[in-house]
A = this chain, B = another copy of it.
Amino acid sequence: MKVGFIGLGSMGSGIAANLLKAGHEVTVYNRTASKAEPLVKQGARHALKVADACQGDVVMTMLADDPALEGVTFGDGGILAALRQGAVHSSLSTISVALSEKLASAHAEHGQRYLSSPVFGRPEAAAAGKLFVTVAGTADAVDTCMPLFEAIGQKTFHFGTRPADANLVKLSGNFLITCVIESLAEAMALVGKAGLDQHQFLDFLTSTLFVAPVYKTYGAMIADKKFEPAGFSAPLGWKDNRLVLAAAETLRVPLPLASLIYNRFVTLMAHGGESLDWSAISKLAAEDAGRGK
């Protein structure tokens, strides 16, 4: 398939590479052009402008936040202006429910199809084509993009026809991950201060009731206090925390646990946590317990 790919960060680079491997004809665009080089070596065409990446059947976007996605979509030379009638914009980014609704309307007005298709997984999963893809939008648009999703992920979940629903699923999923981080952080601070071996405690948990990968991944980071380099940075994690709170606010749903985690992020940012992994909020439970910096 002829597909454009916009956004070559740590996630996007791996995803685009897997599209190439699957035999798709990929045109990549990135604001900082140098990031396109490795992909060009793997066979990608390099678009120098956003519009050049919008000439195929589908354009995929994988950007850091709402402003970045709005930047490439609206305005002169943006996706809306460049994409042909009937083509699909598949948005992989973790964005707000509100922007997703706005994009759905705008693409519909332009005779284009919009598919909300955020992905779960850290950069290693993106590189390995092992992402989970959560999609919402019309069945025909999903059908169009399914070969692409199969190239980048291990499984695709279709959440109905309203695109923003997939974004809510993504934000809720990330919220649940932060809950795992915070709860492990508190439990580890407790058993650690009692003198127990945190790794042994963790091995027990993850071989019994909490066998899920998130407990293993984040538990190890918490036990090792190893938050650099950031697989998913604290500022981005905080952004997602604010987005789930914003979505919940609109729906009038109180999320006290998300609020608690919000304050963890604010505190982390007040102490210079910008470059750390989002799991670094776990340091705060340890510090509050007097377990050192």
Contact = CB atoms under 8 A, between A and B. Distances in A.
Given A179-B179, A251-B190, A253-B266, A196 B168 contact: yes
Interface string A266-293: 1101110000000000000100111000
Contacts of A257: 182-183, 186, 257, 260
Interface string A153-179: 001010110000100110011011101
Interface string A64-107: 00000000000000000000000000000000000000000000
Interface string A25-45: 000000000000000000000
Contacts of A270: 252-254, 288-290
Contact of A262 (B120, B157, B205, B259): B259
Contact of A175 (B132, B183, B256, B288): B183
Contacts of A159: 196, 200-201, 204
Contacts of A259: 259-260, 262-263
A289 B255 CA distance: 9
Contacts of A134: 204
B211 A213 contact: yes
A205 B177 CA distance: 11
B209 A255 contact: no
